[in-house]
Amino acid sequence: MKSTTSVKDINIHDASFQKHCCEKFGLKLSKCFLVHINNEYIREGQIDPRELFIMKNITTEVEECSKSIQDRVDKMFEIISDSKCPEVTIGSHCSDSYDCPLTECWDGLPEHNIFTLYYGGKKCHDLYCNGVVNIIDIPDSYKLNDKQQIQQACITSGEPHVDREAVMLKPRIPAPKFPEDLGKTWTHYSKSRFGSARFRYNRIGSLLQTHRIS
């Protein structure tokens, strides 16, 4: 049973390995099923498990995937027993299908390395494979979106980016219509992980008093 809403490739490999382990210890499996969430299920009253879950027969897919599983298991044990750590470069495999717990490969990367590119995704791996390690070294000919271009420009110049046309300061509080409105005040309550507090403002939005409640 998986908490996903469909059968994924990694689920087939997972089930194939489990089937392999069971059969190695004498438990023969004739069929394999995977149960996942039905994302079109609408609850009306009590939960109906038969509608909430979908049972998918994956026997054929598992059988196909199991053909080379013993060779892959042997290869894993060969790597584990080897005294020398295999040299594997950084790539999309580092997080496919799960994040690799061995992060030493990333320790030598600079602060603004290519993998810190804003929503870089596949671009990061493509650039890294082509020898680009720093964001500032991305060629001008390489297509970046607007935010990525801003990020590269800020790192290159060392200056923050300010879009002055987009920054429009609108007053939160309407201007007083009558002189007597200036003397009016109101109270605002705020709660955070540091406790609760009461803030007292005047009509033009100036903070007059702060009082910690808890």
CA proximity to 32, closest of 49, 50, 20, 48: 20
Asked if residue 203 lies in contact with residue 183, where contact means CB atoms within 8 angstroms, the answer is yes
pLDDT value for 168: 64
Asked if residue 33 lies in contact with residue 58, where contact means CB atoms within 8 angstroms, the answer is yes
Task: Give 89's pLDDT tier (boundaries 50, 70, 90).
Answer: confident
Residue 174 lies inside a defined structural domain of this protein: no
pLDDT value for 192: 45
Mark whether 24 and 62 lie in a shared domain. yes
Q: For the chain, how many structural domains are there in total?
A: 3
pLDDT value for 31: 94
Highest mean predicted confidence (pLDDT) among 47-56, 80-89, 205-214: 47-56
Residue 1 lies inside a defined structural domain of this protein: no
Mark whether 57 and 105 lie in a shared domain. no
- Whether the pLDDT of residue 100 is over 90: the answer is no
Highest mean predicted confidence (pLDDT) among 130-134, 178-182, 203-207: 130-134
Task: Give 3's pLDDT tier (boundaries 50, 70, 90).
Answer: confident
pLDDT value for 121: 87
Residue 163 lies inside a defined structural domain of this protein: no
- Whether the pLDDT of residue 128 is over 50: the answer is yes
pLDDT value for 211: 44
Which residues, other chains included, contact 112 with Cβ-Cβ below 8 Å and sequence gap of 6+? 134, 135, 136, 155
Question: Over the chain, what is the mean pLDDT?
Answer: 80
CA distances in angstroms from 93 to 35, 75, 105, 191, listed in the order given: 26, 17, 13, 43
Task: Give 177's pLDDT tier (boundaries 50, 70, 90).
Answer: low
Residue 169 lies inside a defined structural domain of this protein: no
Asked if residue 12 lies in contact with residue 61, where contact means CB atoms within 8 angstroms, the answer is yes
Residue 204 lies inside a defined structural domain of this protein: yes
* Containing structural domain, residue 124: 94-157
Residue 2 lies inside a defined structural domain of this protein: no
pLDDT in tens, 58-83: 999 999 998 888 999 999 999 999 99
- Whether the pLDDT of residue 135 is over 80: the answer is yes
